[in-house]
């Protein structure tokens, strides 16, 4: 698995000061004779950040590859694991890929992922031009812009509030036999949409809206 992070400046070119950002990749190898890999590209997670303001999260790449079994990739730009607010920011140009030759390939949240039941508010923010790809015999590609759901079976989905924001020009692609849902937004949890545009995403706009 490979990743690259670019999280260094605010939208207006100022260095990031108070906002604590970092990224972590987790990989799991062989289990019960089945190869599997799980990847989380984490720009904010677990460090109990309450607010991100005036920040660019752009140009990140996260790739999860399993030689056999399941490849599960989440959160190409950013992920949340606590109550978080994103304001006046740009999340754009991030790429997420899950690849396996024999099992299930699952790519979730190319721009933003909310896979662990967090309550997330996104306000006055653009999420655009993110790309998610799943390659394999089966699996899912969900949330080209934003994913809010369960990363592991049985987990409770989080809550998402979108206010005065735009989710545009995000793309999901996948091999034949893989389910594609929510080129712009995927959610299976509580959702609030207020003056938010979800448009020009491929192959669809929203699953669960």
CB atoms within 10 A of CB 136: 23
Residues in Cβ contact with 144 at an 8 Å cutoff, skipping those fewer than 6 apart: 110, 111, 130, 131, 132, 170, 171, 172, 182, 183, 184, 201, 202
Phi and psi, residue 115, nearest 5°? -95, 0
Please give the structure tokens belonging to residue 114: 């909310």
pLDDT tens digit sequence for 185-209 = 999 999 999 999 999 999 999 999 9
Residues in Cβ contact with 24 at an 8 Å cutoff, skipping those fewer than 6 apart: 40, 41, 42, 45
Domain count, the chain: 1
Distance between CA 140 and CA 104 in Å, rounded?
8
CB atoms within 10 A of CB 10: 17
- pLDDT for res 155: 78
Return mean pLDDT, the chain. 80
- pLDDT for res 50: 65
pLDDT tens digit sequence for 124-172 = 999 999 999 999 999 999 999 999 998 777 778 889 999 999 999 999 9
Quick one: average pLDDT of 7-31? Answer: 35
State which residues form the domain around 50.
2-207
Is this model's pTM higher than 0.85 or not? no
- pLDDT for res 39: 52
Residue in the structure block whose two tokens are 């997330």: 120
What pLDDT band is residue 32 in, cutting at 50, 70 and 90?
A: very low
């Amino acid at each position: 698995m490979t990743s690259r992070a670019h999280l260094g400046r605010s939208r207006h070119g100022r260095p990031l000061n108070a906002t604590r950002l970092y990224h972590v990749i987790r990989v799991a190898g062989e289990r019960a004779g089945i190869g599997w890999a799980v990847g989380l590209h984490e720009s904010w997670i677990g460090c109990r950040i309450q607010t991100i303001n005036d920040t660019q999260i752009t140009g990140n790449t996260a790739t999860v590859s399993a030689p056999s079994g399941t490849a599960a990739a989440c959160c190409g730009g950013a992920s949340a694991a606590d109550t978080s607010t994103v304001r006046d920011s740009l999340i754009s140009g991030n790429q997420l890929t899950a690849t396996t030759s024999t099992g299930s390939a699952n790519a979730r949240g190319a721009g933003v992922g909310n896979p662990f039941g967090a309550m997330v508010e996104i306000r006055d923010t653009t999420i655009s031009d993110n790309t998610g790809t799943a390659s394999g015999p089966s699996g899912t590609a969900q949330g080209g812009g934003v994913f809010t759901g369960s990363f592991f079976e049985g987990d409770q989905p989080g809550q998402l509030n979108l206010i005065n924001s735009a989710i545009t020009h995000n793309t999901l692609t996948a091999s034949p036999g893989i389910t594609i849902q929510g080129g712009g937004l995927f959610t299976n949890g509580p959702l609030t949409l207020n003056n938010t545009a979800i448009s020009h995403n491929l192959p669809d706009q929203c699953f669960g809206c």
